[in-house]
């Protein structure tokens, strides 16, 4: 194979490796920082911004060295292994073990652990063009963009549909980097640099030896989790089971999900609602069915229990280890709880929600007005809905009060009686019928014995504490809705207050730097800047909307990113085939992109109905098609003789980084999806004005 073909294949190999590494990195950080979707925005922001800076670094270089290129390609392929080690190993060195870092700490940690790799990936793409041109191999910026897109798409497809289901992170990185490693070694062989080839082969052997060693991978997680009994890398999240003495703890995506020594929680979540019912027919348990929960529920002699848990790997592992006991009265269903409630025709006497606080969009969708309406539909007359929220029994802060009040007002819209019992959590009992707070008396009537409630409830849950928590509930707080996530706004505010910080200064600095950057852009590059911003803005909109409607973005994040990459390639190829029509193509694509944004706004504003997942993926493909259509058009308008590749790539990536940050970490969490779309529409209107002004001057 000649040198030109090897270099072109290295572009594809870099794309495959970098996209797979990006997706592995996102999942790593979701497991490190509790699965909050804002983490996705911060990872993509850092990734795109630093990659854009890497592209800018290649701009002043006139000639490329084949030897240096081969070495850079090899480092690009091998370094992701080191990056994962850094992400896992440095967390407990930098942060206090078990502490929840704040916004700035997470942002700094993400940037610190990914900067080297992102600079390398950003630099190597335009540098590839310099190497090709130095070797008198004709290759245009548009061809570079298309070839890179082929690699990106291949990496996205490989990870999203194969690696995520079959391989753990180290093995996934090794598999996705294999092509680039092979090309780098062949290029070194072509350069006849034998002194470099031998250490390169040694580095590759060590890379695969450690990456394919399962015991080594488990050892890299012990700093975060402790003594690991079982480690499962599920498509829905990372499952780790640890043991400390006689106590076992289940972790899901970095969050302690269940402990077999938590008798208080098991009793409170089941007996508080079920004690209200004289006879218990059918019970629906949304999550939290491990260990004693099902046993405590069975004390009420229900007709049947339907236990819904999203991840089959979790329930299978729990059953295998004996944390779920087989019982003919219990049916385990592995599906999304909200989807099940929407689609089932079954009626239930009790629905028990045992989920963490709504600090992510995935969980928030179980605490919205729309969800409570769905739950009410499947409750039998006199049926009860129950769930709990974390709170401080001795002091409830202003933000904590807002959270409790918002959820209370939201559920109160659907049930005549709502009582909040201040136990280990603030337990909400929601029913149209009567509710009593004398839980021990109700349990005695039913001859249900308990360990905690019988002895400690009267002293802990007093009438005074019940009255106090009812008094702090503010009836004027907003309603929490799917597309207006007020609780996420409150959690975001609480996040900053805990660490004594504010996001205002950070976003003002970012906007100021963006304005300075825009001053030095060509008008055509500004169009790509806004297109990159809009593309990633729409990608974040789809990720958050998908999470609201379906609730398992950890699985689908790769598919969403892949679809956006998939649309870029045919768009770029279509524009590349239409030579000498750069300005016309640019104008047409700008109008279509603006129309697509307005279409999304109309759907959110007036419909908001649940669509098939295919519609979101098709929309993402269409939007990215016209974004990809713009890159060759812009480089044609600028002129290949002015070396547009580095500047255009940097503008596209910088805009994408800003769009990710503003929509994913600011506008959607604080103001909702509708406000984010309006912002993107205004941005695209500005670029339309620039394009029409530019065309008018040329005309």
Q: What is the DSSP string of 351-419?
A: EEE----S-SHHHHTTSSHHHHHHHHHHEEEEEEEEEEE---SS---HHHHHHHHHHHHHHHTT-SEEE
Q: What value, to the nearest 5°, has the Cα angle with vertex 119 and ends 567 and 141?
A: 45
Tell me the CATH number of domain 1-216, given options 1.10.10, 1.10.1200, 1.20.1250, 1.20.120: 1.20.1250
- pLDDT confidence of residue 554: 54
Spatial contact of 572 and 142, defined as CB atoms under 8 Å apart: yes
Whether domain 263-482 has CATH 1.10.260.40: the reply is no
CB neighbour class for 326 (10 Å; exposed up to 12, middle 13-18, buried from 19) = exposed
- End-to-end CA separation in angstroms for the chain: 47
Task: Assign 331 to helix, strand or coil.
Answer: strand
Cα separation, 669 vs 385, in Å, equals: 27
- Token pair, residue 250, equals 């289940």
CB neighbour class for 198 (10 Å; exposed up to 12, middle 13-18, buried from 19) = exposed
- pLDDT confidence of residue 641: 59
Cα separation, 292 vs 79, in Å, equals: 45
Cα separation, 189 vs 204, in Å, equals: 15
- Token pair, residue 484, equals 């207006």
- Residue ranges, CATH 1.20.1250.20, the chain: 502-699
Q: C-alpha 192: how far from its chain's center?
A: 45
Cα separation, 150 vs 147, in Å, equals: 5
- Which 8-state DSSP code applies to residue 479? P
- pLDDT confidence of residue 697: 56
Low-confidence ranges of the chain (pLDDT < 70): 1, 35, 551-556, 579-582, 609-610, 639-646, 694-699
Report the DSSP pairing between strands 330-333 and 417-422.
unpaired
**Residues in the chain, total:** 699
Distances (CA, A) of 223 to 84, 433, 670: 14, 50, 34
Q: C-alpha 407: how far from its chain's center?
A: 24
The residues pairing with 352 across neighbouring beta strands, listed in sequence order, are 285, 386
Q: Which positions ≥6 away from 305 have C-beta within 8 Å?
A: 282, 283, 284, 285, 294, 297, 298, 329, 330, 331
Cα separation, 619 vs 598, in Å, equals: 12
User: Looking only at Cα atoms, what is the longest distance across the chain?
Assistant: 90
Distances (CA, A) of 673 to 236, 339, 361, 519, 664: 24, 21, 12, 29, 10
Residue 418 has phi, psi (to 5 degrees) of: -135, 120
Cα separation, 87 vs 26, in Å, equals: 11
So what's the architecture of 502-699 in CATH?
A: Up-down Bundle (1.20)
Cα separation, 293 vs 271, in Å, equals: 10
- pLDDT confidence of residue 332: 95
Spatial contact of 336 and 551, defined as CB atoms under 8 Å apart: yes
Residue 185 CB neighbour total at 10 angstroms:
18
Cα separation, 237 vs 454, in Å, equals: 37
- Residue ranges, CATH 3.40.50.150, the chain: 263-482
Q: Could you tell me which of 626, 617, 629 has the C-alpha nearest to residue 563? A: 617
What letters, b where the CB count within 10 A reaches 16 and e where it falls short, cover 238-258? bbbbbeeeeebbbbbbbbebb
Q: Could you tell me which of 387, 76, 327 has the C-alpha nearest to residue 207? A: 76
- pLDDT confidence of residue 436: 94
Cα separation, 416 vs 669, in Å, equals: 30
**What pLDDT digit, counting tens, does each position of 175-203 carry?**
999 999 999 999 999 888 778 899 999 99
Spatial contact of 313 and 379, defined as CB atoms under 8 Å apart: no
Spatial contact of 269 and 354, defined as CB atoms under 8 Å apart: yes
Report the DSSP pairing between strands 379-389 and 426-431.
antiparallel
């Amino acid at each position: 194979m000649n040198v030109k073909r090897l270099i072109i294949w290295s572009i594809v190999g870099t794309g495959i490796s970098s996209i797979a590494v990006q997706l592995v990195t996102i999942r790593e950080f979701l497991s490190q920082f509790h699965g909050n979707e804002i983490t996705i925005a911060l990872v993509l922001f850092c990734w795109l911004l630093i990659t854009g800076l890497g592209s800018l670094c290649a701009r002043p270089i006139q000639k490329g060295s084949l030897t240096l290129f081969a070495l850079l390609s090899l480092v690009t392929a091998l370094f992701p292994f080191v990056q994962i080690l850094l992400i896992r190993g440095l967390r407990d060195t930098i942060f206090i073990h078990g502490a929840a870092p704040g916004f700035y700490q997470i942002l700094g940690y993400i940037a610190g652990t990914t900067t080297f790799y992102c600079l390398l990936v950003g630099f190597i793409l335009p540098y590839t063009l310099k190497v090709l041109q130095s070797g008198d191999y004709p290759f245009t910026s548009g061809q570079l963009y298309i070839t890179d897109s082929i690699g990106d798409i291949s990496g996205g497809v490989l990870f999203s549909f194969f690696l995520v289901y079959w391989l753990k992170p180290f093995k996934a990185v090794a598999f996705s980097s294999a092509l680039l490693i092979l090309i780098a070694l062949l290029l070194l062989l072509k350069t006849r640099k034998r002194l470099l080839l031998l250490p390169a082969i040694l580095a590759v052997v060590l890379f695969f030896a450690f990456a394919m060693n399962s015991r080594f991978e488990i050892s890299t997680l012990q700093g975060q989790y402790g003594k690991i009994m079982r480690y499962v890398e599920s498509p829905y999240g990372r499952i780790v089971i640890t043991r400390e003495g006689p106590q076992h703890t289940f972790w899901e995506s970095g969050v302690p999900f269940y402990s077999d020594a938590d008798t208080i929680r098991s009793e409170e979540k089941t007996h508080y609602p079920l004690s209200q019912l004289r006879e218990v027919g059918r019970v629906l348990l949304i999550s939290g069915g491990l260990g004693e929960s099902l046993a405590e529920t069975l004390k009420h002699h229900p007709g049947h229990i339907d236990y819904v848990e999203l991840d089959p790997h979790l329930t299978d592992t729990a059953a295998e280890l004996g944390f779920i006991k087989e019982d003919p009265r219990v049916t385990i269903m592995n599906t999304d709880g909200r989807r099940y409630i929407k689609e089932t025709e079954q009626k239930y006497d009790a629905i028990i929600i045992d989920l963490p606080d709504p600090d992510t969009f995935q969980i928030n969708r179980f605490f919205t007005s729309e969800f409570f309406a769905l739950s009410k539909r499947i409750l039998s007359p006199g049926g009860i809905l129950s769930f709990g929220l974390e709170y401080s029994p001795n002091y409830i802060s202003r933000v904590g009060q807002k959270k409790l009040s918002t959820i209370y007002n939201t559920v109160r819209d659907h049930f005549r009686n709502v009582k909040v019992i201040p136990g280990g959590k603030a337990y909400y009992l929601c029913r149209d019928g009567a509710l009593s707070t004398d839980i021990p008396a109700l349990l005695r009537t039913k001859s249900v014995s308990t360990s905690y409630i019988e002895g400690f409830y009267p002293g802990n849950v007093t009438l005074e504490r019940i009255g106090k928590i009812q008094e702090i509930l503010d009836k004027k707080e907003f309603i929490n809705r799917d597309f207006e996530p007020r609780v996420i706004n409150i959690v975001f505010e609480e996040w900053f207050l805990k660490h004594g910080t504010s996001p205002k200064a950070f976003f003002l600095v970012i906007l100021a730097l963006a304005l300075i950057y825009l001053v030095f852009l060509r008008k055509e590059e500004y169009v790509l800047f806004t297109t990159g911003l809009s593309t990633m803005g729409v990608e974040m909109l789809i990720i958050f909307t998908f999470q609201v409607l379906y609730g398992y973005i950890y699985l689908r994040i790769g598919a969403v990113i892949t679809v956006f990459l998939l649309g870029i390639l045919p768009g770029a190829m279509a524009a590349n085939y239409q030579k000498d029509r750069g300005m016309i193509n640019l104008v047409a694509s700008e109008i279509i992109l603006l129309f697509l944004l307005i279409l999304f706004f109309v759907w959110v504003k007036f419909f908001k109905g649940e669509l098939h997942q295919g519609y979101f993926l098709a929309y993402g493909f269409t939007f990215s098609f016209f974004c990809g259509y713009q890159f060759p058009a812009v480089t044609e308008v600028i002129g290949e003789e002015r070396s547009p590749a580095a500047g255009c790539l940097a503008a596209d990536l910088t805009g994408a980084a800003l769009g990710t940050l503003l929509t994913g970490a600011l506008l959607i969490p604080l103001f909702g999806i509708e406000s984010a779309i309006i912002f993107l529409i205004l941005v695209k209107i500005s670029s339309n004005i620039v394009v029409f002004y530019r065309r008018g001057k040329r005309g």
